Amino acid sequence: MNSNFKPEKSNLYSDIWRNFVQAELKNKSTLGTLLESAVFGVYENQSLTLYFKDEAVCKKAQGKRDSIQKKLTNQFRLPCNRISFITGSAPITSASSTPTSTVTTRVEATHSQLRNPLQALYWTQQNFSYNKDEETEQRIKILTNTVSVEQSCNKIYEKLRERTLKLVDNNRDNTLSVDFNWRLRVGGTRGFRELLLPVLHPVFGIPYIPASTLKGAARAWAQKQGASTQVTEILGMLEGKNAIAAKVEFLDAFPIRPCLSIDIATPQWTWKDNLVKYQSEPHSFLSLHQPKFLIGLRLTTLGKQYQDKINQNQENQEQEKQDIVKIVKQWLENALAEGIGSRVSSGYGHISNTPANIQPSNKATKSNYEFELWTQGIYGYNPPTKDNNYQGDLEFRPTSVRGILRYWFRAVALSLYNASDSQILEAQLFGELGQPGKMSISTKTNLPSLNEPYCYRGKIYLSATETKYLHLAEQLLILASHLGGVGRGSRRPLHLLHGRTRGCHWEVTKTNSELPLTYNESQWSNLFKALKEAFQKIQPSTRNYISSPGVPGERLQDVLDTNAQVWLVKSPSQIQPQQFKNWSVEGSTRNAKGEALDFLYNNTRFKGVGKGGGNENVGGSFGTPSYVWIKSIFPYREQKYQVVTIFGCDHQHRLNYAKELDKLRRQNQALLVFGTMP
């Protein structure tokens, strides 16, 4: 072999390496499995350097050194006298540089020079420090570069779409076009700082849904419907020495356009030492935003023979034609309609275009509510800040709805059960890492209005594994929509403060339901009764527990115990958000704020800490959520009012605030519908 051999410019050394790995994976060889996670580092003077994240895999790959060298030299015309196997991250590398036998491919490269997102992710130098802010900044930089590179992958997506159609012989009946209405996460591997990455194709380096994931989803759905025998016959099985070959093959599904996006999870409350503490910690990661996939199915060689036999029997018996690809496609459509990937119970992985072949599901465990939300804005990883001139990226997030239901769940549970039982029950109902919950929440919304306050209209979809869990989810949703809001500013009604929109207003309704509740003590009493009964059906309790909401600096979860109070305050002059003609003028008036909020803001003994003083033990401060929730209610053709919820009235400052509301009660301007005055 000529030591001065140079591949053509279109066949860079990194491309040859990818082709080699792809061939091994296609042949399902052990070598391909070992090298799937390897990152091409540098090829220079017939010496190849490979990087592995996992030390054990690296050592196993070393044992295959001779086989790798032989195949690269003989089959792929890449002479390889030496291979270095290194555990760790690859240095910044340009896969688009034109290499020679004397010039290294290792150069300082910007993310725009990289060929695919996987390279941008793994070939970026990670200079993490012990400084938390610097680490967060570095993490965002790496994720941003990865997303930026994926935006230039249109040609890859176009070629793969053509490839999928070609593999199914351009038979559109054997494809499925799927749109996801929000985000999708199909779990992949652990990345830097143990970050869970979406699965990225080992050869093309772009996000995708593996064929195995699609097949598993279709199989699981069909088996739940009692079609185990047919599933085994068509999709095959392997149990020990017993094996049945599959008749239908699933193809890897690729997006048809760029969709990789930075996502964020920001838990506000965290269990620690049997207490729920306020600790807002954002965690950035990658997911697919409103992706659209083309999924392909095709008969295997054995499947073609099997289908021919079915067709022949059907012709002889004059039966309706049975197409096994069509059967599997229907299984997959139904599986996708229930959600796919991780975090499905939080709104991820739900399709927006409902296929025609969806079979009716168990209506007893599904429900939906219409909602309208006026808000200062719900945002993902890029919220409004001074640095971006308060112009963040708007995004309605179903996780916000799930988060607020979880908050109100704890507010009730901690009054009925001890902390340990409450934590266990919460994990069972809402799920935790690696464990799906018994409740699931998803939403469908319109695009928001262009100007503040932003308005969303749509539906909230609730589902559960059993009727009793669905009933609890419904009661929590009704409670949440009557005591507060959702997302940013959830503790205050919508208003304008110091020139900026604050708070939110949302209404949740259902056909033939009495929502929202009216200014009526009996209706509210029934709400709290129904809520408690829903908890008791899941886990009976005969005790009442008292829990403190803590103090500023050590803020704990609010609890609807005997120290909490819920007041209804008449607010006759208040105006609904959609009725404002000029928000910039009217948003700061009493008509927007309502009676209860206007009183809170105008009294430094109770308002939150800000301009002109305040009291963090009542209204809160930066880093200390308010102990008071205020929600505006606009019943149809009934008395307009505001709901004031006070937590921890055993504290003298909050008790003083409650006494002010009690004065209104004696004037027939307020009702106490939960709790008692001491």
SS in 3 state form for 622-677?
CCECCCEEEEEECCCCCCCEEEEEECCCCCHHHHHHHHHHHHHHHCCCEEEEECCC
Query: Is the Cβ–Cβ distance between 426 and 409 less than 8 Å?
Result: yes
Query: Is the Cβ–Cβ distance between 27 and 38 less than 8 Å?
Result: no
Residue 80 maps to a domain:
yes
Taking 70 as the threshold, does the pLDDT of residue 114 lie above it?
A: no
Residue 7 maps to a domain:
no
Say whether 149 sits in a helix, a strand or coil: helix
| Average pLDDT, integer, range 232-255 | 89
In terms of domains, do 595 and 639 share one? yes
Give the tens place of pLDDT for each residue, 205-242. Answer: 999 999 999 999 999 999 988 888 899 999 998 877 78
| Average pLDDT, integer, range 415-438 | 91
Task: Give the domain CATH number at 25.
Answer: 3.30.300
Determine which of 155-159, 322-326, 363-367 has the lowest per-residue pLDDT on average: 363-367
Residue 435 maps to a domain:
yes
10 vs 157, residue with greater confidence: 157
In terms of domains, do 450 and 493 share one? yes
Say whether 306 sits in a helix, a strand or coil: helix
| Average pLDDT, integer, range 554-572 | 97
pLDDT of residue 82: 84
pLDDT of residue 89: 65
pLDDT of residue 96: 33
Taking 80 as the threshold, does the pLDDT of residue 387 lie above it?
A: no
Domain extent, residue 34, equals: 13-109
Q: How confident is the model at residue 669 (pLDDT cuts 50, 70, 90)?
A: very high
Q: Which of 89, 109, 129 is the last residue of a domain?
A: 109
In terms of domains, do 166 and 272 share one? yes
Taking 60 as the threshold, does the pLDDT of residue 433 lie above it?
A: yes
126 vs 466, residue with greater confidence: 466
In terms of domains, do 318 and 373 share one? no
> What is the rounded distance in angstroms from the CA atom of residue 409 to the CA atom of residue 472?
9
Residue 492 maps to a domain:
yes
Helix or strand (DSSP H, E) at 421: helix 419-430
pLDDT of residue 42: 78
In terms of domains, do 621 and 537 share one? yes
Residue 22 maps to a domain:
yes
pLDDT of residue 177: 94
Q: Which of 109, 141, 168 is the last residue of a domain?
A: 109
Phi, psi of 139 (to 5 degrees): -60, -45
Q: Which of 93, 109, 125 is the last residue of a domain?
A: 109
Q: How confident is the model at residue 517 (pLDDT cuts 50, 70, 90)?
A: very high
pLDDT of residue 343: 86
pLDDT of residue 104: 29
| Average pLDDT, integer, range 62-89 | 84
Helix or strand (DSSP H, E) at 229: helix 228-235
Tell me the one-letter amino acid at 344.
V
Helix or strand (DSSP H, E) at 573: none
pLDDT of residue 321: 65
In terms of domains, do 333 and 194 share one? yes
Residue 8 maps to a domain:
no
pLDDT of residue 193: 53
Residue 510 maps to a domain:
yes
Taking 50 as the threshold, does the pLDDT of residue 569 lie above it?
A: yes
| Average pLDDT, integer, range 308-333 | 81
| Average pLDDT, integer, range 247-267 | 94
In terms of domains, do 177 and 319 share one? yes
Q: How confident is the model at residue 91 (pLDDT cuts 50, 70, 90)?
A: low
| Average pLDDT, integer, range 143-163 | 92
In terms of domains, do 251 and 191 share one? yes
pLDDT of residue 139: 82
Taking 90 as the threshold, does the pLDDT of residue 190 lie above it?
A: no
Taking 50 as the threshold, does the pLDDT of residue 3 lie above it?
A: no
Show the tokens assigned to 158: 């176009």
| Average pLDDT, integer, range 599-606 | 96
Tell me the one-letter amino acid at 363.
K
| Average pLDDT, integer, range 192-216 | 84
Residues 6+ positions from 112 with CB-CB distance below 8 Å: 148, 149, 152
pLDDT of residue 281: 83
Q: How confident is the model at residue 519 (pLDDT cuts 50, 70, 90)?
A: very high
| Average pLDDT, integer, range 306-335 | 82
pLDDT of residue 25: 83
Taking 50 as the threshold, does the pLDDT of residue 107 lie above it?
A: no
191 vs 507, residue with greater confidence: 507
Q: How confident is the model at residue 47 (pLDDT cuts 50, 70, 90)?
A: confident
pLDDT of residue 121: 79
In terms of domains, do 464 and 576 share one? yes
Give me the number of domains the chain comprises: 3
pLDDT of residue 10: 31
Q: How confident is the model at residue 611 (pLDDT cuts 50, 70, 90)?
A: confident
In terms of domains, do 458 and 559 share one? yes
Q: How confident is the model at residue 631 (pLDDT cuts 50, 70, 90)?
A: very high
pLDDT of residue 112: 42
- Global confidence as pTM: 0.81
Residue 138 maps to a domain:
no
In terms of domains, do 388 and 332 share one? no
Distances in whole angstroms, Cα of residue 673 to Cα of each of 339, 491, 566:
40, 19, 6
In terms of domains, do 607 and 551 share one? yes
566 vs 106, residue with greater confidence: 566
pLDDT over 70 percentage in the chain: 89
Taking 50 as the threshold, does the pLDDT of residue 356 lie above it?
A: yes
pLDDT of residue 150: 93
For the chain, give the mean pLDDT.
87
